[in-house]
Amino acid sequence: MIYPRKNILTNALLSLCLILLSVQSFGMSYRTPTHQRSMPTLVLQAVTPPILLSHITFNGMGSFQPEDSPVQLAQNPAHGGNGAANIQEDLNFVQKAWNFYQQRLLREKILIAIVVYLLISILALFVAILINRQLQTKKRKKTRELKNEYQEQLAAFLFDDTVERIEFTGINIPQNRQIFIDELRVLHSNLYGETAEKLRDLYFNLELHKDSLRKVYHRSWHQKAKGFREVAQMDVKDANDHIRSFVNSKNPIIRVEAQVAMVKLSEDNPLSFLDELTYELSEWEQINIYDTLTYHQMNIDSFESWLDNPNPSVVQFALRMIGLFKHMHSAPRVQQLLTHKDARIRLAAVQALKPLEVAEYIPDLKELFRRETHDLMVILNEQREENKRDIRSLDDLLPRKIRFAIVECMEPIASAQEIPFLSEVASEHENSFKIRILAIRIMAALHPEGDAELERLLAQADQILSTMIINVKQNLES
């Protein structure tokens, strides 16, 4: 077994302590032949200066006696004066401690050994922490200085025309190369055109792409993820097939990095990996893909090919992209998914229609609202029987979310013809406050028919509905 380096000192001190505590007597005198001397005698002889050993003898009972008294030692310049007296006092203290230990019971000896071990361990750990902290502080300081130096050198390389050649400090040291790559990537992400291309050329001329490719094939997942980011940003396509094999990785970080890298590196079809996706495309992954598409201004002609994908999360993503990029030509395909068997896809279809603002689909939205209301009532009745919970607190129900999305989708395209439908939504007391207030707000924006309907509702409304109508009107007037 290989022990950590920081435990070597602890084990050494513990071994010495156990040797001293386990020996029952000091053995024969100092003049006894070496092979007959006890271990404590050998230890004391090893750590005691020769000038003092010449004045110490050991008796057979394990105690030692100086041949000269402390006063004589102090008066004899040859013996070191006060220094010898101090050593004598230390030896007396060791003898007293040993005698105290010898007089203890076995369980007390064990307890003393444990306490000594813990104290030594704490001391060793404290020393190790201090040393590690100093090393880390020194490393951070060096890294900070190197970053500043690389930033200045890169700025001179890009913008100082008088500089013909720049020698980057310590670029051949692996740690320094990684710092340089990080600084180059940060600078590259904020530049465009010829300046960014100049940095990319520098990246290849210094053969930094080889460092990135080594990370791509590294066994460690965090090194692999870093390599994916580097080759994707610097447009290194040598490892595309290898990266593509990780779009279904079990590690979510590797998976999202591989997906984003494929979006950047696949020029012809950046989203082709979606056809191979077996895992659910999470919200975070969808956001990263969308951010990559918009940041790099990638134009996807159509997302309709993924509306029939067997992976529901891929269909949801395609619907969201149709809405965000306002692909009006895909509206008929989105309308077909309003009747999909998966409620999550129906919700995504309604949300995709809102930015498209297609008024001709309002009848389909009303019909979907009625079906979702039926499904909602079934679920709410079950909830009443099982948990007896307040129906207005169940905002996490998909039918309720779909119904709210339908009314929200009608807001920019509603006309006077939708006032009866909106009035019904606002009057239904089992609807959530949120959807009722939304319906009232839409009617208030439809002049003058909406104002007339709100006055009619106000005349016969209960306290809750009348409060909603008054608050909406006050907010619109302010």
Q: How far apart are CA 274 and CA 321, in angstroms?
A: 13
pLDDT at 67: 44
* Among 88, 93, 106, residue whose Cα is nearest residue 21: 106
Q: How far apart are CA 42 and CA 34, in angstroms?
A: 8
Are residues 261 and 213 in contact, defined by beta-carbon separation less than 8 angstroms?
A: no
Q: How far apart are CA 375 and CA 401, in angstroms?
A: 12
In this structure, is the dihedral angle defined by the CA atoms of residues 74, 78, 83 and 85, taken in order, positive or negative? Answer: negative
Using alpha carbons, list the distances in angstroms from residue 388 to 66, 215, 394: 92, 56, 12
pLDDT at 394: 53
* Three-state secondary structure readout of 133-180: HHHHHHHHHHHHHHHHHHHHHHHHHHHCCCCCCCCCCCCCCHHHHHHH
pLDDT at 58: 43
* Among 412, 406, 404, residue whose Cα is nearest residue 442: 412
Q: Is 435 left (phi over 0), alpha (psi -120 to 50) or beta?
A: alpha
DSSP codes of every residue in 85-142? HHHHHHHHHHHHHHHHHHTS-HHHHHHHHHHHHHHHHHHHHHHHHHHHHHHHHHHHHH
Using the 8-state DSSP alphabet, how is residue 300 labeled? -
pLDDT at 358: 93
Strands (E), 26-103: 56-58, 64-66
Q: How far apart are CA 72 and CA 53, in angstroms?
A: 15
Within a 10 A sphere around the Cβ of 171, how many other Cβ atoms? 14
Please give the structure tokens belonging to residue 82: 């006060």
Which position has the token pair 């039918």? 399
Residues near 62 by beta carbon (within 8 Å), at least 6 away in sequence: 24, 25, 26, 27, 38, 40
pLDDT at 297: 87
Instruction: Please return the burial class of 410, using the count of CB atoms within 10 Å of its CB with bins 0-12, 13-18 and 19+.
Output: buried
Q: How far apart are CA 183 and CA 192, in angstroms?
A: 16
Q: How far apart are CA 291 and CA 186, in angstroms?
A: 17
pLDDT at 93: 75
Statement: the pTM of the whole predicted model exceeds 0.95: no
pLDDT by residue for the chain (478 residues), tens only, comes to: 444 444 544 544 444 444 444 443 333 333 344 444 444 444 444 444 443 444 444 444 444 444 444 444 444 544 445 666 666 776 777 777 778 778 878 888 888 889 989 999 999 999 999 999 999 999 999 999 999 999 999 998 888 877 667 888 888 898 899 999 999 999 998 888 889 999 999 999 999 999 999 999 999 999 999 999 999 999 999 999 999 999 999 999 999 999 999 999 987 889 999 999 999 999 999 999 999 999 888 889 999 999 999 999 999 999 999 999 999 999 999 999 999 999 999 999 999 999 999 999 999 999 999 999 999 888 888 777 776 555 555 556 899 999 999 999 999 999 999 999 999 999 998 888 999 999 999 999 998 999 999 999 999 889 999 999 999 988 888 7
Are residues 17 and 117 in contact, defined by beta-carbon separation less than 8 angstroms?
A: yes
Please give the structure tokens belonging to residue 254: 């590797």
Please give the structure tokens belonging to residue 125: 């750990």
Residues near 276 by beta carbon (within 8 Å), at least 6 away in sequence: 244, 247, 248
